Amino acid sequence: MENNMEHDVSYPDEKMVEDVPEILVVENDENSRGLVVSGLKDVYRVTEADNGKEGLNLALEQIPDLIVTDIRMPVMDGLELCRELKTNMLTAHIPVIILTSQAAVESQLEGLEAGADFYVTKPFNMLLLKARVRSLLKGRQQLYRYYTEQAEPGCPVEPEILDRPEQLSRMGREFWEKMCDILKQNYSAIDFTIGTLAEDLGMGPRSLHRKIKALTDRAPLQLIAEYRLKQAAKLLRNSTIPICEVAYEVGFATPSPFYRRFKKEFGRNPSQYRKEEF
């Protein structure tokens, strides 16, 4: 594992800023876009697009943490953008705030039915918009807890454990279950890497990195390593397989890095863990 997992895809520039959420603002009116951008850029990384098509392309490329979009735009409007985002496995998890000058209930329902997470009527109060952005980003913490603490990869998804089960979208569930299946089938292979996982999921390594980071607050490299170590713990607990063989069974090229990582993950070495479990 050490000879491939520890030297796999990395993003040094991104790691320096990835803890700062990225907001994509899609608005064709330059003045309105400037107002939103200036109100958010002091707290977040902000990317701009002036129509829905450009916004969709940027969203697929960058996988932002949240999108603010106007409802009426040329080329592709905000409703179509929202539908495209919410029906794509890669972007379905991204919260979307729709801005509109129409206050009619029908217009609001139209936006919500397209999958929008919140609807803001123009002219809007920037403090209110920023508060809603903070709230939606904070809501991701529930998904972090679910994916990293309560839902061990490979186990059935149980969205009822969330305070708001609707946050676990159908597309998010499909992505997670597909990824779990791939991990389950390949974790024991020494040459199984982030690149392999990305290819099997039909996306690039960078997109996979941002998608998994958004769902779990972990990098894919860390997620794969944790999955392997959890499988190792099961083998230690339920079998008498020699520890060096356990290391090979879960995809480590040599026992040494396995011992080191296992102790870091569980606070004791494999031998101690097995004795305590038995």
Reduced to 3 states, what is the DSSP secondary structure of residue 257? helix
Is the separation of the CB atoms in 26 and 78 below 8 Å?
yes
Residue 170 predicted with pLDDT over 70: no
Q: Rounded CA gap, 111 and 70, in Å?
A: 10
Of 3.40.50.2300, 3.30.70.1350, 3.30.43.10, 3.40.640.10, the CATH number of 1-218 is 3.40.50.2300
Average pLDDT, stretch 203-224? 83
Average pLDDT, stretch 203-228? 84
| pLDDT for the residue numbered 6 | 41
Of 4-8, 37-41, 165-169, least confident by mean pLDDT is 4-8
Kindly report the pTM of this predicted structure.
0.69
Q: 């729709």: which residue's tokens?
A: 98
Confidence of residue 213 (pLDDT cuts 50, 70, 90): confident
Of 1.10.10.60, 3.30.2010.30, 3.30.1360.120, 3.40.50.1820, the CATH number of 231-278 is 1.10.10.60
What are the structural domain ranges in the chain? 1-218, 231-278
Of 83-92, 104-113, 158-167, 236-245, least confident by mean pLDDT is 158-167
Average pLDDT, stretch 184-193? 91
Reduced to 3 states, what is the DSSP secondary structure of residue 109? helix
Q: What's the length of the chain?
A: 278
Q: 């990395």: which residue's tokens?
A: 10
Q: Which residue, 162, 152, 183, 174, is CA-closest to 251?
A: 183
Q: Does the N-terminal peptide bond of residue 123 adopt cis geometry, omega within 30 degrees of 0?
A: yes
Is the separation of the CB atoms in 182 and 170 below 8 Å?
no
Strand segments, DSSP code E, in the chain are 22-26, 45-49, 66-70, 96-100, 118-121
Confidence of residue 179 (pLDDT cuts 50, 70, 90): confident
